[in-house]
Structure 1
Amino acid sequence: MSQATKSKYVPIRYKLLASYLILVLIPVIVIGAYAYLTSSKEIEQNTRDNLDVAVHQIANNMQFRVDDVSRSAEAVYSDQTLSRYLSGYFLDWERHQITTQYILPRLEAASQLPKSKVRLTVYLNNPTIGEVYYLETEQVLEAGERQYEIKHASRVEGEPWFRESLQLSPVDFQWRQVELDKKYGYISLLRPLINYDTFELIGLIRVSVKLKDLFEGTAFGELGDNSRLFVLDGGGGRLYPDEAAEGEEERGEINETDYIRIEKSLGDIPATVVALVPVDSIREQLQKVQTLTVFVCLLSIVVLTLASLFISKMFSKRFMKLIHSLQAFKEGDYGRRIGYKGRDEFADIAESFNDMAATTQQLIDEVYVSKLEKKEAELQILHAQINPHFLNNTFSSISRMAKLGEIAKLHEIIRELAKFYRLTLNRGEMLISIEKEVQIIESYLNIQNIKYASRILTSIDIQPGTERYETVKFVLQPFVENVLEHAWYDDEISIDIRIERQSDTIVMTVSDNGLGMKQETINAILGAGTEKIGYGIRNVDERIKLHYGKDYGVDIQSVVGQGTQVRIVLPVIPLISADS
């Protein structure tokens, strides 16, 4: 070898070191970045979920109070006897007796129903019923006393809110601020009052309640420090608390980019509960995760780099020893032998070199190639049975459950996973009983239901007697997996599996209520179109035809937006086990 050639030679020590460093740095950086991003998203999502639950509970508490106030109006509206009295015409003594002995006690009872203090006012078109009302002094309005009144509709018949409320259906009602409600912090429920004999409008029911009685005293502290909670009306304006009632600091401009915004609409009242929670509440957690991730990555890089230096130096010495011996043999030193202590690959090479390369290499090739082909065949069978995507997702779910401390679910999913692979890897069978195929898909669905919190609604209906017939292994799972990956668009998905005998065939039907697909997509899946997709489903069809003929296989019917039905047709053949 010339000196010029030697000067361009890169020692294997540096090649090994470079390869080790690449193999170390890339995975560490990728895994570290993935771990940080995943943890950050998980922390943020968990925080948002917890806040959403808290705001939902607050809104439910407010809605409960709204429903409680509505009971007053409902009590007056549903009292048919009261309706007849309020719409009738009576003489003075009779009118006094009815008013004092029935009408006023019923109104008082209705005003006492809610826990909150309400002002119950009935506006009547009938002028023969005397008015009973309180003076609306500022002191009374500020205090929000519990009261009940009867007023003639003529007092407010010119008001737009009164005329609009009378246009409501008898079974409808509305919440709005009328007259002095906004000034004194009230909101009123308005509902038409009818005569049940003639179904004519006889007046209007108005139940007024203080906004603070509806919205104050909720579980504010659950949202954390420096959080903001308020209620917006249907137009987006501040309903409660009134901006004028807030402190100077609270009235400042709100930069919503610094807050997490959670909203929840109330059911009957046209209002929305809005919570603003500072993002600083999760930044501290994210900073801790970032610091820990960087520390672990740097420590891993240092340790693995030192290990790479040691390994590259060790291997380079052994390689150089072999290279020197081979160079000597090439130069005619046929008596040169490699002296090597130890039992490893280098010792085998040294021994093979010393025993002469030809015969030893031939034996090595025969054994190596034979074993390689055997292992490759076993690997192909194993890969045909195991779905790497499913296994990866399941391990991710197991990791997540372990992090969240969900021990019961963790035990359950591991047990189902072990059962699944015990069934699928058992003796490498290609033809199995329908009973075992059903057990495989049940185990698969159990694992998926644990991962997706029981949001997969399944139904498996097997005609008695069909369990003993044979089927090609793994004919159901690709279709169920396809439903979960491509058809699921709603909160829940329904999967129905039916197995029955029809004449001389076994028909397996897999139905779902998912997205559905076009006929062009079905043709591409089954290989009838120019573009081919869905290898797993097409593989099932091809394997069935390979085993039983072209009269059997897979048929797909689908309607976009309604779902898909897959029919798998097999011949009726009793399974003959290897044992028998």
Structure 2
Amino acid sequence: MAYKSPTEEHKFIPFGYKLMFSYLIITLIHVLVFGYFANWIFVDSARKKTSDNVQAALSQMKDNIRFKMMDTVRLSDMMYYDDTLAARLRQYQEGWYSYESTTQYLIPKFNSVLKSTNRRTSLVVYLRNETLPEIYNYYNDSDPLTYAGKSYDLYHLQRIEDRSWYQNFPPEKYGETMMWQQVERDIEFGNISLLRRMVDTARLKPNMDIGFMRLTVKLSDLFETVSPDFGEGTSVRIENGSGQVLYERGSPLNSSGKQASDKEFLTIKEPFGNMDWQLITNIPKAWVEKDARKVKLLTAGIGSISFLLFVCVGIFLSGYFSRRVSRIVMVLDSFRNGDFRKRIRFKGRDEFSTISESINDMVQHIDTLIQQVYVTGLKKKEAELESLQAQINPHFLYNTLSSISLMAKFGQVEQLHRMVSNLALFYRLSLNEGRTIIPVANELEQAKAYLDIQKAKYTDRLEALFEVDPAILKYEMVKLLIQPFLENVLKHAWCGDRVHIRVTGQKIGDDLEFRIIDDGVGMTAETLRRLNADDGNEHAVGYGIRNVRQRVQLHYGKVYGVRIHSRLGIGTSVSIRIPCVTRKTPYVDKDETGV
């Protein structure tokens, strides 16, 4: 066989490159891992320090905001807990009493409330008592807080009873129920309102509201201490529970001055305790991690120097070892292609010299061993086939001679003669001059001779029919594949006192299929599963089935064999599958006269 170089067979990465890459990878892994963890620890520390500082600043902002909010709550308390005010509002008397209540108490009370704060505040009171007049200002479609910074309006409650913000106001819990919310045109004017009921405390009916108050302040006044003083590009905003931004200062910009995405920021949040608000600040990660760049540059420098150093070392070492490995691979590849004449030699006393000597010693014996194993395998296969064949004939002969003995005992001379003649014909075809492979026609003739022998025994209780495609008679096959299954039918398949057997043969693709079909008793599903099992368990199947299956697979391979289909009470069908093998020379029967 002609030698083929390794490059003609397959492409692969040379051993020298693999060795060099392994050196580089092992070395650089340590540098990269060290750099990664050093950078991660430093950045994490910087983030934590920044987060703590910002969290403290946000907490201070939150306290300042809460102080201003509590100042507005204090204004609402002046009316919420005023029993005199509640007494005036629950009196439904028109005329002088209504006028007196409005001019002598309500208006002075509202003015005193607004004067109690130095911030711009708008007060709107909605009264359920409609005997009291409405008092309101005309703001010319502008922000009420722009008029002298303080104003109040007095309306009847029916004006807001259909408003969703009033209808959705939570149930009253005395002294606690209040809500900061942007209603009416607050969003448009940049305001926010404190909403709170006015309840009848004197009658101990806190759930019976006598009015509703709305104190409006500027967001800029309430949140004036909110400032993004954490560095360039930072921003601070206040959101409510639904994600609506109530107030925002600063603009989240990246290093190029453009609007940045959320992924470029470190976000820190500070909740408002019992409120659903929260302070949120966005700090650019680039600003937080600016010192980490030094670590990255240092790591990159060390990695580059290490890479160049070990490239030089790797080239030298890989070149030295790869030349030796390449010589071994070339010689082994020639051995694989059947050329055992080459030998390999190395100078010195190292591992490569030991490998070369071992290879040379091994190759001296390979060719002889291959021939010995090949010849031994062929002889073993032939011996196995002959052994299996030898197991069939004595078994069948024993059964037939037993039947002949019974016929002779009962004086059935005619039947005895036919049986002896058919037995002679069967063994003439079976012996076949010692050949294991016979024509398909002879196999079918053997099967017919066997059934004729049995018909002499069972007379009209046995009926047999052969349906064979004449086109398959030109092929050859291992002998005695059909007869063992005919014997099984007569031994196990009787259903009553009659049995019918049909033998078919046809070509399917490149295979021959023989089927032995009976209308006998059939078999259970468990028995069928056990017989069809091909797991090497010799006790799982019957003797005849195992014998035929082994002979087919020994001669034709594991893809061929026997398959059984059966239903209890209906019958059994056995399929034998073998490849189509054309006869090389015509078969001549030298004895046409029988015994």
Which category describes the TM-score, using the shorter chain as reference length? 0.3 to 0.5
What is the TM-score of this pair, normalised by structure 1? 0.42
User: What TM-score results when the alignment is normalised by the length of structure 2?
Assistant: 0.41
